[in-house]
Structure 1
Amino acid sequence: MANIYTGSAPGRVNLIGEHTDYNGGMVLPAALSVGLEVSLAPRSDSAVAISSSGYDAPAIRDLADDASGEWPDACVGAIREANVLGLLDGGATLDIASTIPEGSGLSSSAALIVAILKAARARVIEGPSDVDIAIAARRVENRYMNVPCGIMDQMAVALATPGTAMALDTKKLAYGLVPLPASHEMVVVHSGVTRKLTDGRYAARKEECDAAKRYFRTEDLCLLNWDTVSASDLDETPKKRTLHCIGENTRVHAAIAALDAGNIAAFGDAMNESHVSMRDLFEMSLPEIDALVASATDLGAVGARLTGGGFGGCIVACIEKGAREDWLEALLSRHPESRFIDAVSGG
């Protein structure tokens, strides 16, 4: 009987820094308590056999199969990548236990790929580092699953530590851990609108950013000058996307400084400004999300914003610790289609 190896990864919430990770900017994700665990048994054939408590399962695929746009793609892609890395030499039988809501924008696919690669790494004495695992996981999404994501999700679920946020420079892959406040919680609420990175709208935003990169001859939209971009004759849509990236990158730096200084009000301001930018400049929000964010702040959140790739999924709100229960009850009574997912804090 084949040996069984395990790997795990958390979900993540991005506190601020949306769509900056493939534009040369900063992000500030934090690990959640929801996550997933994978058990992996190597196989001598090329089959990838999957059972799961959190996905439609079972599924049987082959390493030679092309991506189909369905959830098993992440498993097949991860096992293919594990073979490239020398961690496996064939297929695998996988059992997945997940508490991450699918389509929530909390990096379920990144966590799944990272957990599989970590399980495969457990077979060898000296395997790739966690950073290398994150880079490999991004390759799976970019090259096999055809999702043009940046590196944030993979780095966050491979490296983030509970109770801290990861201040990640996605251009340099340099990162530091920023303690979350003990006085407040970062509360994640699902809007009730499910999203998929493969539905085309995420890719369209990426293409609009690529058009701006060609115009300005840079890969790093986040590092451009606001006034220079505003005054350019770049088409209006890619210009708006670029201005979001510039402003969002500045807000991430401000949010990190605010957390370091214990200035929760300034941190909340950055979150609120981020949502406005995502709504008006990057145009990645939805009326249901906007209403949920407005209610969150109206009911007492210091700051609230859409989190994730956009077009559904979750919001994250900064709430004083003792006020969370009453705040959440009031919020869900206004928005019964929404549901509580998780809360993280320091201390």
Structure 2
Amino acid sequence: MEEESRFGFGESHAKVILIGEHSVVYGRPAIAIPLKTIKATSTIKSREDGQIIIHSERFDGLLADAPSDMTGIKKLILDAVRKQNYQKGLEATLKSMVPIARGMGSSACVAVALARALFSFFSLHFSEKELLAAANIEEVATHTNPSGLDAATCASNTPIWMMAGKIKRIPINLDGCLLICDTGIKGQTSEAIAAVKKRLGSAAKETNALFDKLQELTLAAKKQLAKNDLLGLGQTFDAAQSVLKTLGVSCDELDEYISVAKDNGALGAKLTGGGRGGCFICLTKNAAQANELAQKLSLTGVRQTWIEPLADKEEKNVL
């Protein structure tokens, strides 16, 4: 293959944690689902001048000059170049629909898309394990100690179950739609995690009881996803939001938006991710109801919404 003809393409999608936020840090289970309509793509083409160029919304120029918040991207590209002993240049273009700091896996989504593009560029076959290991190069640089949940979900077409650091896929057989809503408020994940840790130190028994309740609800959600129990899952969402509010990881704005969603027909609604801002999710019967609810929430200040169908009859996993 002539070097000038080299080309690579990779794609990924966003994710949300369906249930199990915060308690997953303490060994309880969590479920995350892929948002396949919210994508990131990466294309790579070769250059004869030996330069490595990157194009993205955050930065456009020589990879060596990329800002510190793109250190993970830089490491992922340079690691691939080194391993393949590639001596010529390349030009990487990154595009993402995933908002930053909203609990939707923005960095992991881009990392998976870029890793796939690099494997494609170098004409390499790869396993899921190799894909996630490559994406993890970026995630470690960005998040220091990532759980792996984000990258695994961004690379999967089916929900991911995580407990005590172990990850596996679980089935989904659920009619209805998920409405993802961006409050426009940057999520305060580190603050929320610190607050939960402090609460655990001062009220261990009560806090562990809340974690146990979230585990119970997560186990229920797993069954509801598999058995098409839409109404049951909505009730599980509401119960989980009540626990998260008691834990202190919600906020007035989230509580108000969730109340509006419930008043306007949501089967269930809860925050997703770290909390104290970011996104919340609403369960609806169908896309029409989700659209109607999205319009009403936009009038109350919700910044952006996405509708994700939950029914997936194919359940194919494409690396």
Q: Scaled by the length of structure 1, what TM-score is found?
A: 0.76
Question: 1:46/1:145 Cα in 2 relative to 1: closer, same or farther (>3 Å)?
Answer: farther
- Matched AA of 1:288: E
1:136 positional shift: 3.9
- 1:204 corresponding residue in structure 2: 194
- Matched AA of 1:195: G
Q: Residue 28 of structure 1 is aligned with which of 1, 25, 31?
A: 31
Identity %: 20
Tell me, what secondary structure is at the counterpart of 1:12? strand
Question: 1:129/1:326 Cα in 2 relative to 1: closer, same or farther (>3 Å)?
Answer: same
Q: Which runs of no fewer than 5 residues in structure 2 stay unpaired?
A: 313-319
Question: 1:337/1:186 Cα in 2 relative to 1: closer, same or farther (>3 Å)?
Answer: closer
Question: 1:135/1:328 Cα in 2 relative to 1: closer, same or farther (>3 Å)?
Answer: same
Question: 1:293/1:108 Cα in 2 relative to 1: closer, same or farther (>3 Å)?
Answer: same
- 1:253 corresponding residue in structure 2: 219
In the alignment, the residues of structure 2 paired with residue 327 and residue 252 of structure 1 have an alpha-carbon distance, to the nearest angstrom, of 25
Question: 1:173/1:345 Cα in 2 relative to 1: closer, same or farther (>3 Å)?
Answer: closer
Residue 340 in structure 1 maps to residue 296 in structure 2:
no
In the alignment, the residues of structure 2 paired with residue 248 and residue 46 of structure 1 have an alpha-carbon distance, to the nearest angstrom, of 53
Q: Residue 116 of structure 1 is aligned with which of 108, 114, 117?
A: 114
- 1:329 corresponding residue in structure 2: 295
Question: 1:76/1:246 Cα in 2 relative to 1: closer, same or farther (>3 Å)?
Answer: farther
Residue 189 in structure 1 maps to residue 181 in structure 2:
yes
- Maintained 8 Å contact 2:149/2:167: no
Q: Give the total of aligned pairs.
A: 306
Post-superposition Cα deviations, 1:257-304, rounded to whole Å, max 9, x if no partner, equal 1222322222112211222222221x3222211211121112111111
Over aligned residues, Cα RMSD in angstroms?
Answer: 3.2
- 1:12 corresponding residue in structure 2: 15
- Matched AA of 1:266: G
Question: 1:88/1:263 Cα in 2 relative to 1: closer, same or farther (>3 Å)?
Answer: farther
- 2:160 corresponding residue in structure 1: 166
Question: 1:109/1:49 Cα in 2 relative to 1: closer, same or farther (>3 Å)?
Answer: same
Post-superposition Cα deviations, 1:41-83, rounded to whole Å, max 9, x if no partner, equal 367999653212xx233143429x8x83x3x234113224535
1:248 positional shift: 2.4
Q: Scaled by the length of structure 2, what TM-score is found?
A: 0.82
- Matched AA of 2:45: A
Structural mapping, 1:1-347, within 5 Å: 1=4, 3-32=6-35, 33-41=37-45, 48-52=52-56, 55-62=57-64, 68=68, 70=69, 72-82=70-80, 86=83, 89=86, 92-124=90-122, 126-142=124-140, 144-159=141-156, 161=157, 164-169=158-163, 171-179=165-173, 181-182=174-175, 184-195=176-187, 200-201=190-191, 204=194, 208=197, 235-236=201-202, 242-281=208-247, 283-321=248-286, 322-333=288-299, 335-346=300-311
Post-superposition Cα deviations, 1:195-231, rounded to whole Å, max 9, x if no partner, equal 376xx4366369x39xx9xxxxxxxxxxxxxxxxxxx
- Matched AA of 1:275: Q
